[in-house]
């Protein structure tokens, strides 16, 4: 099991442990440690940004809040890192690569072309 890196603060360590403990035991490799730590930091930044926006509003003195860009960037980081760590729904679904797909048979291709021609007429 991955252990939180020492540079994480208390909230980030809590997020880190939530992430690691919510995944199957063999989901993460030791090489994932920096990404999981960044993901935990991004989650905390998103929560802080969201809280600050809720407290002060999206517009301050007629201008967008400075927290808006922090919040948006942290959301983007969370989304990207979740995909990279296979934590999002899309990351959990095994996908076939283009190379792994079997080629379409000649007869299947003929049937598809015939159907397309029928639909055009």
The verdict on residue 21 lying in a domain is yes
The per-residue pLDDT for 19 is 93
For the cut 70, the answer to whether the pLDDT of residue 91 exceeds it is: no
51 phi, psi to nearest 5 deg: -65, -40
**How far is 116 from 24, CA to CA, in rounded Å?**
45
The verdict on residue 113 lying in a domain is no
pTM (2 d.p.) = 0.71
The verdict on residue 84 lying in a domain is yes
Range of the domain at 27: 10-94
Q: CB-based contacts of 92: which residues, under 8 Å, 6+ apart?
A: 86
Band of pLDDT at residue 26, cut at 50, 70 and 90: confident
Q: Spell 1-16 as b/e; 16+ CB within 10 A means b.
A: ebebeeebeeebbebb
pLDDT digits (tens, 9 = 90+) for 29-75: 999 999 999 999 999 999 999 999 999 999 999 999 999 999 999 99
CB-based contact 16:8 (threshold 8 Å) = yes
The total domain count for the chain is 1
Q: Which of 81, 55, 79, 80 is nearest to 66 (CA)?
A: 55
The per-residue pLDDT for 9 is 97
For the cut 50, the answer to whether the pLDDT of residue 98 exceeds it is: no
CA atoms in the 13 A half-sphere facing the CB of 102: 5
The per-residue pLDDT for 10 is 97
For the cut 60, the answer to whether the pLDDT of residue 95 exceeds it is: no
């Amino acid at each position: 099991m991955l252990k939180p890196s020492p540079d994480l603060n208390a909230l980030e360590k809590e997020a880190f442990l939530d992430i690691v403990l919510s995944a199957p035991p063999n989901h993460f490799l030791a090489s994932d440690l920096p990404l999981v730590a960044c993901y935990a930091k991004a989650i905390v930044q998103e929560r802080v940004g969201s809280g600050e926006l809720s407290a002060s509003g999206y517009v301050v003195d007629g201008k967008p809040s400075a927290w808006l860009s922090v919040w948006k960037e942290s959301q983007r980081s969370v989304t990207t890192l979740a995909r990279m760590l296979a934590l999002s729904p899309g990351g959990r679904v095994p996908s076939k690569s283009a190379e792994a797909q079997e080629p379409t048979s000649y007869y299947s291709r003929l049937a598809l072309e015939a159907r397309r021609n029928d639909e055009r007429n």
